Structure 1
Amino acid sequence: ARAARLPSTRAAAVARLEDPRALATVAKTAPDPATRQAALDAIHDPAALADVALKSEHKDVAVAAVGRLDDTEALEAVAARARNSAAARRARGVLDARPGASVVASEAVPSEPAPEAPPLPAEPPPPPPAPPDAIEAVPEAETRDVGAPSAESVPLAPAASPEPDPRERERERQERIALCAKLEGLTGEEALDYLEESRAVWEGMAPQIDPPELDELNARFQRAMEECRRRYDAVAARRNAEKEAAERDAKEKDAQAKAREVELRRRQQTLARAQALAGRLEVLARAERPTLREVERALRDERAALDALAAVPDRKERETLADRLKAARAALFPKAQDLREADEWTRWTNAAKQEELCQRAEALLAEEDLEKTLRRLREIDVAWREVRQAPRDQAETLWLRFKAARDQLHARLEPYLAKKKEEGQANLKRKEELVGRAEALAGSTDWLKTADEFRRLQGEWKQVGPTPHKPSQALWERFRGAADRFFSRRKEDLDRRKHEWTANLQRKEALCARAEELMTSSDWEPTSVEMKRLQAEWRTIGPVRKSKADAVWQRFRKAVDSFLERYAQRDELGRAAAAAEREAMVRELEEVPADATPEDVAAKVLAVVARWRQAGPPPRDATDVARRFADARNRVVEAHPSAFRKTELDPEANRSRMEKLCARVEALLPKTEDATGASLAERLKEALAANTMGARGEAEARWKAAAVEVEAAQAAWKRLGPVPGDAGRVLGERFESACQRFSASRPRPTR
């Protein structure tokens, strides 16, 4: 927080401090004013604020800390012992401004923060106390009731101002003498700042000294200030002179260093150019077909480089480069001679060609077809540029002849060219219109119609006649740019739509696959809900490519329709599936081999019986299947009775249970039925007695309770396994007979 170089780092460090003592340390000692103020603003502990006001040597934070103090003791401590005099004066001013301040308020300076003053000398010992009568005179005058009228009601004369306290006079004298002494001995750069501060402190003192002595001290203070300013000016002038001299020396040294650097750079550049030139000469000497211009220019540069090498101070390096340049020149010079001879030969042959071009140009003067004349003249101009070099003694004559014929042709072609220019301008306007229409269509999103319109515009563009090359090229760039922008946007939109189509197709194919998975499901209600969800999701998916839209829709529709058809026939399908399953279980029992081991037979039969029970009772129209199942089961159990011992199909256990159930139902039969030997008259007599005695309701209740037990016995009978043979048949008939007799024994109301 105190020593970081970056202001942002210091501010961040101060923001993370929470300890009041650490913040007080930063506020007292940080060199940066902003950091000190930030640390002081973060302090909320009165003790830490008092510590900053007492010990900080920086005026800004010390005075600001005093302004935030409320405790009287802390303010008195700062006023008495603060290191910064401005903070001490501010504390004293705050104390004096409070109600009930001490009578010794004259010791304080004005409440406004005054400029910082140097530390004052120790307070001199107080003068001897005044006589008691003098001390008591003031209270007597102060305690007088000035508001009460006198006996004569005559106004009193104004009282004389009280005599200043000798101690205050002595304190002022010592402070003024200390300021003068400080100014008289002050030197250095801080003198100028202290001058204005001292003046403010001097003028802020309340004059209590006698005028002669005060005038003498004022004169001494003025002399001290003038001498201090002269000393400061002399020091500043001397330092300015030293600074200017140092700057002149530095500038001279910089100029010399730059001159040496420029010279060194120039020599290095000279060496580099010479080395590069030597390399270029060597390359040209090895080249198969250098141009005469390149060779002659290299030879001229070689002469200039040899002259420049004289300034290179290193003799060995200078001589090495010079020898290399001379060797390269010697190797290149014969090739230069050959190129000059070849150039002379070329010029000689070009003279005959220029003669022929002059004749062709002169022959065009008689041509009537101006368009043909213009075209051939352009061809002649191109050919002339290719053979423009001729022998120096003939070049001027041939050029003037060609120019004369060319000027006559231009004079003939000028009206024709003007007319073509007008036509070109008209064509240019037509192209501008086409460009405007194309640019207006560049932002369209009606892709098909706009594409057709652009094709029509391109056809019209081709039909427009010739136009000036440069503006026509610019218009063509605009026209092509507008078309490119439109077709690029169209391609981007098509790519985007293709991407969307592909994504939509993938989603729809996923829905088709899911629907195809569900179309054979027999879990009807959940599958129906899922199919409805798939149909709703299908409607939210966007379009796909037209070539695939119908196929994917037919696929999805086929899967959904297949399930819906099965869903409409779910009851029939369920019954058919159950019947098929029961038929399979019956065949499985019927196909049990007779020679199978008992363990395998028992496991297989028990499993089939468990599945039959889980499938629920067969429907009424499936009695044949139920009979076949019972016959097959009984056959297997009868063939292997030992295999089912201690299982639910154990014949002996089932026979015992059947007997118990028969006995249980028979025990519920009415007692009248058991008295088979009683006469009919006796039974009628007992029945009549029961009706006449009001017991009919009780008999009905007993019968219903017994009926519940009979129904439970019937349910238990159905869960029993088979008992093969006559024993099972007899027990079945017995149980059925008992149940029927019980049903017939229900009390009936008498008429």
Structure 2
Amino acid sequence: MSTDPWGRVDDDGTVYVRTAEGERAVGSWQAGEPEEALAYFHRKFEELATQVELLEQRLRGTDLPPAQAEAGIMKLREAITDAHAVGDLDTLLTRLDTLTDLVAKRREEVKAARDQARAEARSVKERIVGEAERIATETTHWKSGGERLRQLVEEWKAADRIDRVTEAALWKRLSAARTAFAKRRKVYFAGLDEQREGVRAEKDRIVAEAEALASSTDWGATAAAYRELMRQWKAAGRASREVEEELWTRFKGAQDQFFQARSAVFAERDASLRENAEVKEQLLTEAEKILPVTDARTARAALRHLLERWEAAGPVPRELRDRLEGGLRRVDDAVRKAEETEWKRSNPEARARAQDTVNQLRRSIDQLEARLSQARAAGREKDVREHEDALTARRSWLEEAERTLGEFS
């Protein structure tokens, strides 16, 4: 008979686990040594412990819904209570008790958040109505004012509902503001001929700002400023035909000067992207030397190093991206298939490699997302598209890597 702190194997091969309630049989072992039996049932225990740890991480590290968390706890509790495993099952149940308390607290937090959301929704709708009423009585920018009122209606629809009485009262005020605005706008356009000089003054200002920005090298901010000036131009109305044509020629000339200069700079940037492509061509050639894969671990290590250099090389022209990324993906697929074969012989090692691949791809995605945010903030539209395309490829790889990792669960 073989024993350990959490279980034993009887002379007849029956395997027992020790719990606070006493011993209970969890299986039998007829072939091999008792130590092998205990090792087998210990592994079953470790699988349960891993599931508990994963649930703890999800509950503490994510916003896992309480109902889903409770279902997971109940499922694990049943599995542990009737487990055919040898180990400290009581401690696992105690950890689940702790998670149950945490879920209860989370549920209270969710309720409080819901109450807070309702209060915030009322505040949002009061703000919407207040802004609509100000637009209805104060603004003379009819196009932008009308657009803003439409946006406010959409914001109203998107906001959470509040109590019926307050909702109806606020909606009545919002409707009245929209009606008042429409009436004022109708009056304004009825006397439009008398206001054309004001339109000219507004467009003189817009043109002056556009000409002042024409030599700017702050590409993102200035492009956004030109878009805003264009919006203001359209919102200002129309002056007389002669004035309109003369001002538009100046305005368009200022824009053309800026955007032509920006295009020249971007052309230089394209040359830099082609240099990056040359580096990635060399890296792809190195990657293809990994094939055929004879040692999955060595191949993965080599590919991991290549991936780090690949990311450091930077973006490439769009017309080359699919071929380069596709070539590297084919090498990665071959390495992954070799890992799957290796996994059949060594499950723990294969899982570790799969986890490492997932972690690396997640880090790569985080880095690309950071670059994407920087590009968006700087108004670098071409870089935005390039980073978005690269993210699409990485996320596709990550989905495949996560599916592979899931097979070890």
* Normalised TM-score (structure 1): 0.18
Select the structure with the greater relative contact order (CA < 8 A; seq sep ≥ 6): 2
What TM-score does the superposition give when structure 2 sets the normalisation length? 0.30
| CA radius of gyration, larger in | 1
